[in-house]
Amino acid sequence: MTINAHSGLPEGGKARRVYLLLRDEISNGVFKDGARLPGEHKLAEQFDVSRITIRRALEALAADGWIEKKIGAGSVVRAQEQTGQRMSADFATLIPHLVEMDRTTTARLLSFSYDNAPASVADALGIPEGADVQKAVRVRSSGGQPFSHLTTFVPKDIAVSYDEADLATQPLFRLLERSGVSVESAHQTVTAALATPDVADALEVSVGSPLLFVQRVVRDANGQGVEHLSALYRPDLFRLEMSLARVGAGEARHWEPVIGGLK
């Protein structure tokens, strides 16, 4: 069983939509191993579709090993074999984490080109719109399973010190360091996005699957942007983890992140 199993349901159809939503709930732990799904009638009402549509979605879930149809008991969620190790990133230990990730995962370079910076990237890096940037698209895998789709932009004057072969074999932060860049700070925003056709293809998920969307701008000691990253992660294989400890009392109380080691 894999996340991209061929459920046999036409892409974009109602039954496939129900299939994806229910599979997402199983994969999120809303329905755990052994849990019983609501009956066809209730699901039809909940998703505002016909019972035939629900039946087709449930048949596909059963065919792909997500549920088991039991006589008298309806649809029961099956134990999920872990198809790959779930990665997790502790933002507080990002660089050691990247070093570790580099040891345990592989990256495949999908494209390497020089391009004009899109407006949003130029804005974030603090360079003129249309300035020359090195654009790379990579897919990172763990145990043969792709889990992240990474698009990076680096200003041309920094990027000239490495080439396609370097980026295919070494992590970008090492290449930046080798270029003499002193990485000083980063800002990242975390949100969610849908898998577009090209990303879905690279990550081996269905078009329209939910993905964790991280955008990071890395700056040098002068505050100059040196890297713009857009990373899309499969939620079944990658999560951000944060530990917080309470500090202070009364109105001054707040959470502080726990600075931990590698996990």
CB of 15 to its own copies, least distance (A): 9
Work out how close the CB of 7 gets to its own copies at its nearest, in angstroms, rounded to a whole number. Answer: 15
DSSP string covering 166-188: HHHHS-HHHHHHHTT--EEEEEE
DSSP 6-40: ---PPTTSHHHHHHHHHHHHHHTTSS-TTPBPPPH
Token digits of residue 62: 């059963």
Binding site for its own copies (CB under 8 A): 11-14, 17, 20-21, 24-25, 28-30, 32, 35, 46-49, 88, 91-96, 99, 118-120, 183-194, 196-198, 207-213, 233, 235, 238-246, 251, 253-259
For residue 185, the minimal CB distance to its own copies (Å) is: 5
Q: Identity (one letter) of the amino acid at 196?
A: T
- Closer CB to its own copies, 49 or 76, in the complex: 49
Instruction: Please state the closest distance from residue 132 (CB atom) to its own copies, in A.
Output: 19
40: left (phi over 0), alpha (psi -120 to 50) or beta: alpha
Instruction: Closer to its own copies by CB, 27 or 161: give it.
Output: 27
Helix (H, G, I), strand (E, B) or coil at 57: helix
DSSP symbol at 115? E
Query: Which residue's CB is nearer to its own copies, number 1 or number 190?
Result: 190
* Residue 84 per-residue DSSP state: S
Name the helix (H) or strand (E) containing 100: helix 94-104
**Closest distance to its own copies from the beta carbon of 209 (Å):** 8
Q: Which is nearer to its own copies, 202 or 211 (CB)?
A: 211
HSE-CB of 94 using CA atoms within 13 angstroms: 12
Q: Closest approach of Cβ 19 to its own copies, in Å? A: 11
Quote the CA–CA distance of 65 and 137 in Å, as a whole number. 33
Choose between 6 and 246: whose C-beta lies nearer to its own copies.
Answer: 246
Between 11 and 164, name the residue whose CB sits nearer to its own copies. 11
